[in-house]
Amino acid sequence: MKRLLPIFLLFTITGCATLPLMESKYDSFDKRTITRLNNLPLETNNEHLSLSIVNIRYDDGENIYRLIIKYTGEDWFFIESGKSLVLLIDDTKNEFETDEGSLNNREVLPPFMGVVLVTESSSYNIDRETIKLLTDKTLRGRIYGQKYYIEFTVNDFGRKKINIFYDKYFLNNQ
């Protein structure tokens, strides 16, 4: 697994993931604005996890906020349904629930340098206050899979990106 860490970092840092780190787009068909912070790398021991924050704002005023955790590795993790995401925000435990875990969000990636990787993700409903808490607090977490869990932290780079994202897209859009 350690030999793949540079490959994972290459994907994340060079933008080989197809989405830009931050974006906001209007969808005229569904009359909504989708704002995202995409694929922010999380620090783990040997696994590759990333975090995305999504806000879907409909023209009628409805807002949906989601936190998405994405796993990439050589073997399946199978993110559990239920309370499979736990965040410690300044040592306060916050549990987040998902109906299906990664059940409908799994894929095998095309081989890269002879290595076949899999990816899976799970989405969690959050509120605006949780996004605000992520901007200025120490953040650690666990994501639970079928056989084990992965602990992660958001480093200073990640917190700065979350701050920039919040200030740019949320601060003046109460």
Mean pLDDT for 51-77 is: 94
pLDDT > 70: what percent of the chain? 86
CA-nearest of 58, 67, 121 to 94 is 67
The domain locations on the chain are: 2-169
Q: What is the pLDDT of residue 57?
A: 94
pTM: 0.84
Q: Amino acid letter at 138?
A: T
Distance of alpha carbon 72 from alpha carbon 106, whole angstroms: 10
pLDDT tens digits along 85-124: 999 988 889 999 999 999 999 999 998 888 899 999 999 9
